[in-house]
Structure 1
Amino acid sequence: MSDFNKQAGSLSEKAGISSPEITNVSAINQIKIKRRHQPTAQELISGILEGNRTALSRAITLIESTNPEHAEKANEIIKGCLLHANKSLRIGITGVPGVGKSTFIEAFGTHLTQLGKKVAVLAVDPSSSISHGSILGDKTRMEELVKNENAFIRPSASGETLGGVARKTRESIILCEAAGFDTIIIETVGVGQSETAVHSMVDFFLLLKISGAGDELQGIKRGIMEMADAIVINKADGDNIKKANQAKIEFNRALHLFPPKKSNWQPKVTTCSSITKEGIMDVWNSILDYFETTQETGFFQEKRNEQNQFWMMETINEQLKQNFYSQPEIIALLEQNKKAVQNNETSPFAAASELLKLYFKQSR
């Protein structure tokens, strides 16, 4: 007998072995009935206000949905939760892939729950530009925090959004606040794109860095450094402690070259280890100092008000874009103009102008 036949024989199913039959038909029918039942907006609102995580998760799914039929229900839920929102401290965390964002958030979130805080983590997972899929593996990486009864972790796909923030993250914050979470952590993709989106929806913007990986010079960039309210050198443990302390000195020097912030807050640089938990408390104390300082100056509320205006304009832009691409006549003409542009029969600007003229004509 050849080696191939031996392998095939060892992998073949033996006689008399079969998959077990499903016996609990009643339980399966009950599950199907529950799945068919779609809770009303008011039922979801009541569940959220009671701290029901299932209701919160289902409501966020509705908000993230691109189905036009879900939009009205989602808006009703947001409106019902709005009066119970704005009672949390919102923290944005960013950093390049591999800096240890998920590990840090788990250590940081666990520390906060031990202090009696209720923590919601809105983790944004990068979407493939080819398949448009996402792994959504943050719950796997935060295996301890996900089991914590005072924590809620919601991974979402970034989609085509720049800055690594899910399309409806802003609305998800409102629902989490209404559910009683007093600390909201937003983890961005951190792929070097514009971080303006996350900065415009949080109170405190934390930049995670690592040392000894050629990251120091790369990290000293005006845009991201000016937005950061704190810089944390992660993975400061073992043989890396000396390098982390050196990186701390370099970043401190760089921060003092920038003009004072509008908030009158001087960003701080700290080191920490998500493994040994060393320095985690210092990060939280720094955030509390920022909160106290900006509350006293009035900057905290001023920033919140500006953010509300910004997201009003963003919502208008998003709705206009969605309405534009949902028009049947626009869809048909768009395909024609795409081919014409590819074949150099017209310019991209002329094609866009023709589409916009059609859209404005229909809008009258």
Structure 2
Amino acid sequence: MTRAKQSTARPARTPLPLWAAVLMGIAALLGSLSIAVSVGAISIPLETVWGVLIHKIAPNAIAVDWSNGREAIVWDIRFPRAILACFVGAGLAMVGASLQAVTRNPLADPHLLGISAGGAFGAILALLHTGLFLGLLTVPLLAFLGSLGATLIVLGVSQFASATSADRLVLAGIAVSFIVMSGANILIFLGDPRATHTVVFWMLGGLGLAQWDQLIYPATILLLCGGFLWLRSGTLNAMTIGDETATTLGISVARFRLTIFVIGALITGVMVAFSGIIGFVGLMVPHIVRLLVGGDYRRLLPLCALCGAVFLVWADVIARTIMAPDDMPIGIVTGLIGGMFFVWLLRKKLG
């Protein structure tokens, strides 16, 4: 009997080392970027894609055997678009994972909690009413303030309605999201009709406005805030166990939770300012990564960033090719995939 049990017992699976998982994620990301820049209404060979990249980094390294038009498509249009997809996907995935820790809610997501809607409100306010009074910083700044305001409203509503449970917090976020989006629609209604078509970008999500000189803003926010979240991985692990356990470990639970919400609002607001509302990335990616590597945030956060980047790059590829030469808003693609994932998650959690 003992021998039978020993013979049928499966050895415990050793988790893949973090460095190996990160290297695999980077390889997948580089491959995805190559394909994303290559495909489109005009297909460009992969050797040309890498040739243009090498030529821009080291102008005299290789011979130029492509046209100026193809170089412009690769370098000026598709590369910044794909890199912006990486930044946005990585940022939203890390925010979603962090919110799920501090709320202990598997359904927490910057889109469902109204944070993205607040960012869109701020961006629309800047575009249609205040003008770019701070230059290129105006839209990201007001988007962050909008996201932060929506976050504070969600927290206030949850306290007012005694919605302290995980499920009710999401319901409070959804309610605030509807209210904030109604405010954004009022701003559109009161704005210049000739300019309102530009806000469709923020309502439906898209990466078509990506430019090299603007990528510094999401890159800086992702590096600083993402690094902060990773450095606090141990605290996030403690928060997943419960407030009482975290308190016994010397963690100021309320202050840390508010800090994570502010950091999440900053990342989401800046990403929304350049990509519009892209939903469900922060919901899906952390759950998928947990299935692969477990729930330790020291492993989870960097891999969420890589997987979020890969996911959004491929979502953008679908958005660009499914109706080529026209671009489908990427928010439609992520909404369709995310909605089905949300239903599956509800069935798994409630079943």
- Calculate the TM-score normalised by the size of structure 1: 0.23
Please identify which structure carries the higher strand content. Answer: 1
- Calculate the TM-score normalised by the size of structure 2: 0.23
Bigger CA radius of gyration: 1
Question: Greater relative contact order (Cα 8 A, min sep 6): structure 1 or 2?
Answer: 2
Please identify which structure carries the higher helix content. Answer: 2
